[in-house]
Chains A and B, each alone.
Chain A
Amino acid sequence: MLDRLIEEAPRFFNYYNMIFILQAAGRTLAMTVIGCTVGFVCGLILAVIRQSKSPLLLPVRLVAILYVEIFRRIPFLVILFIVLFAVQAFAPNASLYAIAIISICLLSTAFLSEVIRAGLESVPRQQIEAAEGLNFGAARTLVHVILPQAWKIILPPAVAFMVMFIKDTSLASQMGVVELTFTGKSLVNRGFSPVLGFGAILVFYFLLSYPLSRLGAYLETRLASPRSKGARQLLWTSASPQGGVPVGGQG
């Protein structure tokens, strides 16, 4: 087997294959970044809705809870299939790439909203009461009181979840989105040894996610304050890692 690898290696590591893989890595990263950004914004909205106390918003709150609970309990592969067929039923010409991005956004919204909610809940009630006492509105309380304190709790697990989404996008290869895993499969189909093909892909995934998980661990130690201990306990029981424990992905 080793002779085969040595013989194939120069052909495998040629310019065009590397460009092919790098482009795919860019696509994987793009899917993750778009998914995380959209997920962060939508997750923040969902988390804020869940924090609201007004009885008028009760139905919206229920929908938000339902959304988070449902999408955290469906495998990403099944979400992909449902989105694929649902979108294709209405828009037969939709690109697979767009469908994969929609699915990753749906998933990341659910997971990141849990992370953000834990961050928001970490801010002591007295702070919010004090803001109310100063006649701050809900928006001002959020922007000037809650978020400046909550982002320290939110950021480390959010970065850890980004690693998870990088890994989850590998499932999009099953639909035919040309990202890293798909590239690996097509290189192997072209006759290269699976050791080389999938090995190279594993290395590229590692290069994408290792810096991120180091960043997450660094932020965790850097931003940790004694006060955040209770909040991290809260995170523990809901969705995310604690003390540098990596997040499991489905991909």
Chain B
Amino acid sequence: MNYTFQFSEVFKELPYLLAGAVVTLEVAFLSFWLGAVIGLFGALGKVYGGAPLKRAIAAYVVFFTNTPALVQIFFLFYALPDLGILLSPMTAVIIGITLNSGAYLTEILRAGIISVRQAELEAAETLGMTRMQIVGYVMLPHIARTIYAPLSNFFVWLVLGSSMAAIFGVEELTGRAVNISTSNLRHIETFTVVAVIYIGLTFVASIFLALVGRWVFRVKARIF
């Protein structure tokens, strides 16, 4: 029980770590928006598509949400070279997390689309709204309000989930922490500082997203 903490070794490397936090946010952002594109088409296909399409999308979602992203990325990273496709760690991680978030976002967006009640659409039709007007004034505001909170939660999850990129040697926040701690041997201190940075990142992200939600979409999002 006689461990002396030495944070000064870690604080020297703070700029390096914070630059890693930027990489973390980049990975989260990129896979969020790429996943959102997959999720949009997936959700539309799952709601309006034919039976085979629905089944294919359901299989994609079920497979990716029930297996760990880590093993999926292992698969991409080590199995694709057999087919002659060599991925850099960063690309493999982003493709893996994107496929994953695509599956989750499909479900979230689908929940948003089906939350629009038939009666509302019929009311809009009765008012003589065109198709575009119905989408723009009736469906989208409703969908946005329904999915905003889960989407912002999901983004926070992606920030945390991107930490597994460290395992593949991507130099994001956790990866840089591993780098530092292997040279200064101050493991506990380094990872504590990194944990605090993660808490700060996700906290700022949560508050920011909650405020945007309140102003733009009138969503009462809880921060706590």
Contacts and interface: CB of A to CB of B under 8 A. Distances in A.
B177 interface: yes
A72 to B, nearest CB: 8
B179 interface: no
Interface residues of A, number: 57
Given A69-B224, A74-B199, A205-B68, A248 B79 contact: no
A171 B74 CA distance: 12
B136 interface: no
Interface stretch (B8-16, B59-67, B118-126): B59-67
B71 A210 contact: no
In terms of DSSP, what is the predominant structure of the interface of chain B? helix
Contacts of A251: 68-70, 164
B80 to A, nearest CB: 9
B164 A77 contact: yes
A78 B174 contact: yes
Interface in A117-155: none
A58 interface: no
Q: With a 10 A CB-CB cut-off, give which of A170, A180, A209, A238 has the most chain B CB atoms.
A: A170
Nearest to B149: A237
A181 B73 CA distance: 11
B166 interface: yes
A-B interface, 5 closest residue pairs, ranked by CB to CB distance from nearest? A75-B163, A194-B78, A170-B68, A85-B187, A246-B65
Interface of B: 1, 3, 61-63, 65-72, 74-75, 78-79, 82-83, 100-101, 103-104, 107-108, 111, 149-150, 153-154, 156-158, 160-161, 163-164, 166-167, 174, 177, 187-188, 191-192, 194-195, 198-199, 202-203, 220-222, 224
